[in-house]
Amino acid sequence: MRVLIYGGSFNPPHLGHIRSARTAVEALAPDVTLLIPAAIPPHKALAAETPPWQRRFSMTALAAGEIPGGEASDIELCRSGPSYTSDTLRQLRERYPGAELVFLMGTDMLLTIESWHEPETVMGLASLAVFARETGREGDIAAQAVHLRERYGAVVYVLEGEPVTVSSTRIRAMLPERKGREYLSGGVYAYIIRHRLYGARPDLDWLRERAYACLKPTRVEHVRGAEAMARRLAKRWGADEADAAEAAILHDCTKKLGRDEQLRMCEKYGIIPDKWELENDRLLHAKTGAAFAADVFGAPDHIAAAIRWHTTGRPDMTALEQIVFLADAVEESRRPYPALELIRRTAFEDLDAAMELCARRTLVFLREQGEPIHPDTARTWEYYLKKLEDKGAAPVRWTGREI
């Protein structure tokens, strides 16, 4: 039996790790390949933004699933003190008596192995498989392999393959900029976004693909329009355009669910619908959508709030909340309705005036249709009407339909 061992910080595990492991699997045909995240790497400190070890282990398990025979092991995470390779190999020798243990490493690790803790034990318990991460160092690797064989009796396998030249450090720096997805497996990237590890914000193409899958096909055009309008409004009012886009992309993510499904979603997320929401199925998707977006896509509080309030509105909304509320109401694919063009134009002139006008138009429409009015919508109109009065501004006139 042959057991391939691949240790590291895996912070996060990326395609370079996966490709290295696959190269070793193809060359050495191990029965088991263990990816072992270190608890306390002895050669370097973990980065300040390192997530809890449980998160790092879960990411490593997802990466291991991309490798034939791959498994994640918490052997070092469950052990106190520095994660010395010699201690790990002793434990694995007890677990796999008689097996050949093969420790996978990079060029620099091979060249410095004699400075490790108990190097004789490491080379006595395991063969070494070196993955050459840099071209032009073949001579150094060959010379070190000969030296280690002669001095320690080490078994050294030299692996050939084209590495992915990216580091976990670089990926961590890219993730808050909505970049770096191309260096991560799909499962690891989705996990990072769901838990917003490393301050990650989702790549918007990735988010669109997954959010659109939650929609009825007929609603995709509206969501695209809401995103485009939210971006324009965010640019006009100095808000974060990408955050506005993210909120707009997700704002209708549970819209297609029927009443029973909405209520099951409420139960799942501990949402207690009020009587107006129980009377009007169109209102529930704002609450369930905010909870779903936070759970599945890791939407932070300010984005979840913009989703939560995009139907009824609320008094004293943030700029992002106002932007998403108005973008939903006036995006370019909306079928014409009274005051649409007026609200759209006003949204680029005065956000407060646009909120008052949009809420007023909603109240008029609901009264004309004989539908119940949610108190939040009434309070929203009253708040922005008073805000306009307090700053000495008159509401925008809407001929023929005043409250």
Strand partners, 104: 6, 129
Q: Quick one: pLDDT at residue 401?
A: 54
Name the nearest CA neighbour of 201 among 60, 333, 297, 270.
Answer: 297
Neighbour count for residue 97 (Cβ, 10 Å)? 8
Are residues 231 and 268 both part of a single domain? Answer: yes
Judge if pTM exceeds 0.95: no
Are residues 358 and 286 both part of a single domain? Answer: yes
Token pair 């939650």 in the structure block, residue: 214
Residue 400 pLDDT greater than 60, yes or no:
no
**Contact by Cβ (8 Å): 326, 339:** no
Q: Which residues constitute the domain of residue 299? A: 202-390
User: Which CATH number do you get for residue 290?
Assistant: 1.10.3210.10
d(CA 102, CA 155): 9
Widest distance between CA atoms in the chain: 96
Question: With left for phi above 0 and alpha for psi between -120 and 50, is residue 335 left, alpha or beta?
Answer: beta
End position of a domain, from candidates 183, 216, 231: 183
- Looking at the chain, the whole-number percentage of residues with pLDDT higher than 70 is 96
d(CA 286, CA 252): 7
pLDDT tens-digit readout, 40-85? 877 777 788 899 999 999 999 999 999 999 999 999 999 888 889 9
Question: Which residues contact residue 222 at a Cβ distance below 8 angstroms, ignoring those fewer than 6 apart?
Answer: 252, 331, 333, 334
- Residue 105 DSSP label: E
pLDDT tens-digit readout, 138-155? 788 889 999 999 999 999
Strand 70-72 relative to strand 2-8, pairing = unpaired
User: Which CATH number do you get for residue 27?
Assistant: 3.40.50.620
pLDDT tens-digit readout, 190-238? 999 999 999 999 999 999 999 999 999 999 999 999 999 999 999 999 9
Q: Please, what sign has the CA dihedral across residues 125, 131, 132, 133?
A: negative
Q: Does residue 274 belong to any structural domain of this protein?
A: yes
Are residues 209 and 176 both part of a single domain? Answer: no
Are residues 13 and 159 both part of a single domain? Answer: yes
Question: With left for phi above 0 and alpha for psi between -120 and 50, is residue 5 left, alpha or beta?
Answer: beta
Q: Does residue 191 belong to any structural domain of this protein?
A: no
- Cis before 12 (ω within 30): yes
